[in-house]
Every structure is written in C-alpha cells, then in structure tokens.
Amino acid sequence: MALTGRAGLLAALGALVVLFAPRPGLAVLGIVLLLAFLIVVDLIFAGGVRPLRFSREGERLVRLGQSVTVGLIVENPGTRRVRGVLRDAWPPSAGAAPRRLAIDVPRGERRRLTVTLTPTRRGDREAVTVTVRSLGPLGLAGRQGRHRVPWSVRVLPPFLSRRHLPAKLARLRELDGQHPALVRGQGTEFDSLREYVVGDDVRSIDWRASARRNDVVVRTWRPERDRRVLIVLDTGRTSAGRVGTAPVPTAAGQAEADRTDQGDGRRRPPPGWPRLDWSMDAALLLAALAARAGDRVDFLAYDRAVRAWLSGAARTELLSSLVNVMAPIEAELVEADSPGMVAAVLARAKRRCLVVLLTDLNATAMEEGLLPLLPQLSSRHLVLVAAVADPRVAAMASGRDTSEQVYDAAAAEQLRGERRRITSLLRRHGVEVVDALPEDVAPALADAYIALKAAGRL
C-alpha cells in the first residue's frame, strides 16, 4: 500500500473545513473517517500488482561508455486496469534511466517499456527488482508490489585502443609477403614463389626455380606463423591503483572530483582508471594484432588464484571471447602470488611461447615476488613485462617552483629510479620491458610485439 500527495492535500484542505465548522471536533473525526474510507475504496479498486507478469528483451552486452536499452514487457492478466508508476531497479553503476516510468496497462493487455542503461564500470549488472505502484481511480492511494525479473547485462571493456589497430596491422603487413617492401631475414619463413614484377628486389629471384620455368620467379617471405602468445594479467593489489584520466566517465571519478583534499585544501585531480583496465586495453590490442598475424593467443588472469583462463579460442572469435572473459575481473586487494602465477603459466604453456606479463614495476613486489622466479620462466619462454606508468608521477618529477614541489619531485624521482633499476634487472634476465604512460601502453606493447616478430624471436 502507498499513499499519494493527493491524499495529503485532501487532509490539509480538511484543516480549512475544520477551521470554519461549527463542531470542529466532530469535523476532524468526520474528515479522518472520510479520508480513510476513500483510501480503502481506492485500494479496493486499484489494479492488482501481484498477478502482473513481466518479461524482458534486449541487449545482454554493452561496451563500457556506451548505452544500451533493455525492454520490459508488462502483461496484465488481472481484472482491472493497472495505472501508476513502475521502477526498474538496477545497481547504481548500471546507470539505469529513467528512474521511474509511468505505466497504464488495461486488463488483458501488455505494454513494452524501455530502460536505458549507461554503465559506469565493467562487470555484470543484474537487474534487482521491478516495483509497481498501481493507483486507484481517485488517485489517493495505491497498491505496491515487487517482482523479480531476472536479467543481466555484461559490461565489456571498451577496447579504446582499437583505433591503433589499422596502423599496427599495416606495419604487420610490411613484415608479410603481401607488401612490396620485402624484408627478409631472421624470423621469416619461406612463403611461396611468384612471378617477378618490376620493383621486386632482384636479390630475391630464385634462379633455380626460374630455370625450371620460362618465367622469372621470386621467393616471397613472411614472418613466422602459428606462434603462441600467452597474455598474463596480474589482478593483484598493484592493479587497483588508478592512473591517468578515465576515458569513460566513472562514478568514482565524479565522487572523488567533488571532494577536496583535506590535507592541503586543494582540489585533487580525478583518480582515473585502474591499472587493470589500461592493461586490459593493451592486452586486447595485442590479442587482436596477434590473431591477425596468425598467432594463437591464450589469456590468464591471476592474483592468488586463476581469475580467468581462455585458451584455444578461434581466431575470428578471439576478441569477443576475450572481452567476455575480462568483463567481470576486478583487482583484488591482495598481494599477487608470483610463484603461483609462474607455476600456472608453466603448467599451461607446454611449448615455447611469448609470455606477456601485464603487471606493475613495483620494486618491492617485483624483488620479492617475480624476479627470483624469472629464470624458470625465461629459460623456456620469451617473457615481456608491460607496465603502466603514472603520469602524475611524471608531473610531480618536473615540479621545481617551491620547496614543496622539489620534495615531491625527489619522491617521484626516487620511484622512477626504482623502476629504472627494476627494468635494467629484468633486461639483464633477458626479459623485454614496456613501461609506458596509460594512453601509450597499448601501442607501445603492440610495437614491442611487432619488433619481436620482425626479429623472429617468437
């Protein structure tokens, strides 16, 4: 049961009547009884909420930053018209709009309502409940009831770095035999023989083959194919730190931007995106590129247990499977278990492959966790560590105006020195390192992959 503002207005108008009534005490009693009677009548004649039947239709997937509509079909098998308001409750970060919908379903009919979801973060969003308030003919009171109408929408990573994909694919084709500028050397394998066309490098003419035919034939080369790439995503505590500026407005960013720092009173910059999301973006670009280059891509997310594992996806469906697997992953606030991660990688990668480890170059975490175990990994596989640098640290390091800024700059340089030290240690172990700012990490990782491929080190 629920009352409306009209009932309150009626009660307030009753006060005027009481003011001028000859027997005010009786008038109050009469008005209260009348109001109660009208409310009861309204409740009796309001359409029933319990017999309503709901179903949903619409999208199940949405990229972060985009909107999606979900249809809600209301069927009224009852004996009375259901007129009132409906709220389709979703979690706040699903960004459901509008908050309440007007419904008017005559008996025996059905109506379709639409709710627009604009999610502000990744993951699965489950519809909570549908609440209907069915008002009576007088509009004084209504029946209210809730229904559970299951539906979930998976919010996928936005894959913003896909705008880099055409340029990187063009560079990949330069390696391939399809491009006129043939690059031949280590890491390329014999592809085919074809007729000589003007402009081809005369050094690539296969004289023996030409001798067998009446035509001049050249050899074409292409990079190695069917190599394996294993992308390992560290979902431990270091991935939870937020860096850069979020390309998609986040709920947390809004809340944080409105709050001022209590320490020094100045407004803090919005906290940006977690390292995890930037890493996912880079992983998606790398996976798209590697799939196009003919390599097989596997994906592992690990902190203290396997959070996600994707293997053997068909090339055409790799990206959609990957975003599906990535969508619900959140950074866990625990220290990543490096021995476990290395063991998981070794157990899964039987043959030599490129292990791309997306983590942070945190000095203590690296020295205690991964560094002692790297020889196990790098002896069997080629290891590439990609990390997201913090632009705020870079900004702090260039502060020179006041002593406060210089102290901050010293702290930032201290951190960058640690990162440089870790990077050189890793390189000494034969590990490739990509350390780039959030916006650049995806193309930088793609470049590193292409360079490795060109050098035939896969």
Closer residue to other proteins, CB minimum distance, 19 or 211:
19
| Piece in contact with other proteins (CB under 8 A), picked from 163-171, 205-213, 351-359, 403-411 | 403-411
Which pairing describes strands 228-234 and 354-358: parallel, antiparallel, or unpaired? Answer: parallel
Exactly one of 37, 44, 57, 309 binds other proteins (CB under 8 A); that residue is 57
Rounded-to-10 torsion of CA 22, 25, 26, 27: 70
Over its C-alpha atoms, the chain yields an Rg (Å, rounded) of 32
Name residue 353's amino acid.
C
Does 2 participate in binding other proteins (rule CB under 8 A)?
A: yes
Does 38 participate in binding other proteins (rule CB under 8 A)?
A: no
Residue 159 CB, nearest distance to other proteins (Å)?
Answer: 17
Exactly one of 191, 330, 335, 447 binds other proteins (CB under 8 A); that residue is 330
Exactly one of 38, 41, 43, 59 binds other proteins (CB under 8 A); that residue is 59
Does 413 participate in binding other proteins (rule CB under 8 A)?
A: yes
Closer residue to other proteins, CB minimum distance, 315 or 420:
420
Closer residue to other proteins, CB minimum distance, 65 or 91:
91
Contact between 322 and 310 under an 8 Å Cβ cutoff? The reply is: yes
Sorted by sequence, the CB contacts under 8 Å of residue 450 that are 6+ apart come out as: 168, 171, 172, 175, 289
Q: Buried (b) or exposed (e) across 360-382, using 16+ Cβ within 10 A?
A: bbbbebbeebbbebbeebbebbb
Exactly one of 46, 64, 130, 135 binds other proteins (CB under 8 A); that residue is 130
Closer residue to other proteins, CB minimum distance, 338 or 362:
362
Closer residue to other proteins, CB minimum distance, 94 or 172:
94
CA distance 443 to 449: 10
Name residue 335's amino acid.
E
| Piece in contact with other proteins (CB under 8 A), picked from 31-39, 199-207, 218-226, 377-385 | 31-39
Token match 């020094």: residue?
A: 264
Closer residue to other proteins, CB minimum distance, 50 or 352:
50
**Which of 181, 210, 179 has the alpha carbon at shortest distance from 194?**
210
**Which of 201, 159, 209, 208 has the alpha carbon at shortest distance from 184?**
201
Does 367 participate in binding other proteins (rule CB under 8 A)?
A: no
Beta bridge partners of 436: 388
Residue 206 CB, nearest distance to other proteins (Å)?
Answer: 44
Residue 13 CB, nearest distance to other proteins (Å)?
Answer: 8
Q: List, in sequence order, the alpha helices (H) in 385-437.
A: 391-397, 403-428
Exactly one of 128, 138, 346, 444 binds other proteins (CB under 8 A); that residue is 128
Residue 81 CB, nearest distance to other proteins (Å)?
Answer: 19
Cα-flanking dihedrals φ and ψ of residue 242, to 5°? -95, 135
Contact between 95 and 249 under an 8 Å Cβ cutoff? The reply is: no
Binders in 163-222 for other proteins, by CB under 8 A: none
Does 108 participate in binding other proteins (rule CB under 8 A)?
A: no
Exactly one of 135, 297, 326, 331 binds other proteins (CB under 8 A); that residue is 331
Binders in 71-100 for other proteins, by CB under 8 A: 85, 87, 89-93, 100
CA distance 78 to 52: 7
Binders in 257-276 for other proteins, by CB under 8 A: 263, 268, 271-272, 274-275
Exactly one of 80, 110, 111, 146 binds other proteins (CB under 8 A); that residue is 146
Does 437 participate in binding other proteins (rule CB under 8 A)?
A: no
Residue 216 CB, nearest distance to other proteins (Å)?
Answer: 48
Name residue 267's amino acid.
R
**52 is written with which tokens?**
């309503």
CA distance 421 to 412: 14
Closer residue to other proteins, CB minimum distance, 113 or 458:
113
Exactly one of 42, 295, 303, 390 binds other proteins (CB under 8 A); that residue is 390
ω into 98 cis (within 30 of 0): yes
Does 18 participate in binding other proteins (rule CB under 8 A)?
A: yes
Does 112 participate in binding other proteins (rule CB under 8 A)?
A: no
| Piece in contact with other proteins (CB under 8 A), picked from 124-132, 173-181, 206-214, 379-387 | 124-132
Q: What angle do CA 11, 12, 15 make, to 5 degrees?
A: 95
Beta bridge partners of 126: 152
**Which of 121, 108, 224 has the alpha carbon at shortest distance from 172?**
224
Contact between 87 and 101 under an 8 Å Cβ cutoff? The reply is: yes
Residue 207 CB, nearest distance to other proteins (Å)?
Answer: 46
Residue 104 CB, nearest distance to other proteins (Å)?
Answer: 16
Residues that bind other proteins (rule: CB under 8 A) add up to a total of: 96
